[in-house]
Amino acid sequence: MAKTSSDSPRSVVHATFCIERNYPASPAQVFQALTEPAAKAKWFTGGSGYTLLAREMDVRPGGREHLKGRWQTGVVSTFDAVYHDVVADERIVYAYEMHLDDRKISVSLATLELKPAGTGTRLVMTEQGAFLDGYDDADSRERGSNFLLDALGNSLK
């Protein structure tokens, strides 16, 4: 995890990444796993060493999602998203902030595109991030996103 310091000067580092996955499920099934709270709770988590503190989800234009948890180190991470565009079985666009404890570490725009691929679905995730005030760790965010998309795939089996 990248370090931040309250004494560090204000800064912004931008990064963009794109990840693609093919899933053996229909676009409707993938969309449901992304937007239905119980289905998303199966894969969108911190994994071992993570204790869930709060989860709320309302996927629609203007809707919000909130996920908060404590890592075994004691650090609390918070994901707060606002959905801007939701097209059933095709596309989701949302902006989100990430916090570690009370410190905002990033603001990102994420786009998920679902495209039929044979009998399954090709998911294309594009994320544009602004990493704030010394928290320059876009590689870690991309690794975390890969982990989550693999977990999504496992939930669809």
- CATH number, residue 16: 3.30.530.20
Model confidence at 8, pLDDT cuts 50, 70, 90, reads low
- Yes or no: say if 36 and 55 are a contact pair by the CB < 8 Å rule: no
pLDDT score of 7 = 59
The answer to whether position 56 is within a domain reads no
Model confidence at 138, pLDDT cuts 50, 70, 90, reads confident
Calculate the average pLDDT of the chain: 93
pLDDT tens per residue across span 97-109: 999 999 999 999 9
Cross-strand bridge partners of residue 47: none
Site of tokens 């071992």: 48
Site of tokens 């990033």: 106
Which element (helix H / strand E) includes 151? helix 138-155
Residue 41's domain comprises 12-46+85-155
3 has pLDDT over 70: no
Angle between helices 138-155 and 27-35 (to 10 degrees): 120
* Overall average pLDDT of the 24-28 stretch: 97
The answer to whether position 77 is within a domain reads no
The answer to whether position 22 is within a domain reads yes
Closest CA to 83 of 45, 34, 143: 34
Beta-strand pair 103-117/120-132: antiparallel
119 has pLDDT over 70: yes
CA gap 88, 5 in Å, rounded: 41
The pTM assigned to this predicted structure is 0.90
Number of domains in the chain: 1
Count of positions (residues) in the chain: 157
1 has pLDDT over 70: no
pLDDT tens per residue across span 51-84: 999 999 999 999 999 999 999 999 999 999 999 9
Closest CA to 96 of 79, 84, 113: 79
Q: What 3-state class would DSSP assign to 63?
A: coil
* Overall average pLDDT of the 100-128 stretch: 97
